[in-house]
Amino acid sequence: MGDAVARAVPVLGDLISAHDLGSDLAKQITDEANAALDANARAINAPVAEAAQKASEQTIKAFCELAPQIQVTNPYGPNGLVDPQDVADALKLYCAAMQQANLLRSRNAPNFDFNVRAARIKQELKERLTRACQKNAPHVPGPAL
């Protein structure tokens, strides 16, 4: 009679099979491992994301500072001599270079002077934007090197 009563009352093994338990446990372990990897990846990529955010802000600021200084001597537009794509390309190059500079600064790279690098990158941006806006301007020779 004891066996009959025991069979009438389900046991845990009747409700959750070893396969189900194994599958659920494996999924839980996998999910926890993936969450840990995601957190680790976010931690590793956080400085890169922060450098990119700063570079975007610096690009806008640099453009706002330089744009009023650069004379446009050519027509603007897709059929003009000032190609908007030239301006966009100059800004993209500046942003990428500033992202790299910001990342080097965050990593305390040895022998790296952020201010010197940023000034050089901004000067290059100004030169690219000027070339984009003054393609037909008369050539003014610079100092002889």
Question: pTM for the full model?
Answer: 0.65
What pLDDT score was predicted for residue 57?
Answer: 93
Nearest to 129 by CA among 64, 54, 52: 64
- 82: DSSP letter: B
φ, ψ at 82 (rounded to 5°)? -100, 105
The amino acid that residue 94 corresponds to is: Y
pLDDT score recorded for residue 145: 41
- Mean of the pLDDT values across residues 97-109? 93
pLDDT in tens, 34-90: 888 888 888 888 898 899 999 999 999 999 999 989 888 766 666 666 777 888 999
DSSP string of the chain, one letter each residue: -HHHHHHHSPPHHHHS-HHHHHHHHHHHHHHHHHHHHHHHHHHHHHHHHHHHHHHHHHHHHHHHHHGGGS---S-BSTTSSB-HHHHHHHHHHHHHHHHHHHHHHHTT-TT--HHHHHHHHHHHHHHHHHHHH-TTSPP------
Average pLDDT over residues 81-110: 90
State the Cα–Cα distance between residues 134 and 114, nearest whole angstrom.
30
